[in-house]
C-alpha cells in the first residue's frame, strides 16, 4: 500500500515537469529536423543547379 501511494504521488508530481520536458524535447527535435532539411535542400540544389 505504501509503495502504491508513493508511485501515485510521484506520478502526479511529475505531470507538471513532464509538459516542460516534452515541449523542450520536441522543440529541440524540430530544430534538428529543420537544420537537417536545410542541409539536404542546400546540397540537392547545389548538385542540381551548380551556379
For 14-43, the pLDDT digits (tens) are 555 667 777 888 888 999 999 888 888 777
pLDDT of residue 38: 85
Q: How confident is the model at residue 1 (pLDDT cuts 50, 70, 90)?
A: very low
pLDDT of residue 37: 85
Please say if the pLDDT value at position 12 is more than 80. Answer: no
SS3 content of the chain, % helix, strand, coil (to 5): 90, 0, 10
pLDDT of residue 44: 65
pLDDT of residue 25: 85
C-alpha to C-alpha distance for 8 and 2, rounded to whole angstroms: 10
Amino acid at each position: 500500500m505504501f509503495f502504491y501511494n508513493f508511485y501515485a504521488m510521484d506520478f502526479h508530481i511529475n505531470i507538471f515537469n513532464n509538459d516542460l520536458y516534452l515541449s523542450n524535447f520536441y522543440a529541440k527535435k524540430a530544430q534538428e529536423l529543420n537544420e537537417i532539411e536545410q542541409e539536404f535542400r542546400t546540397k540537392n540544389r547545389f548538385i542540381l543547379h551548380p551556379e
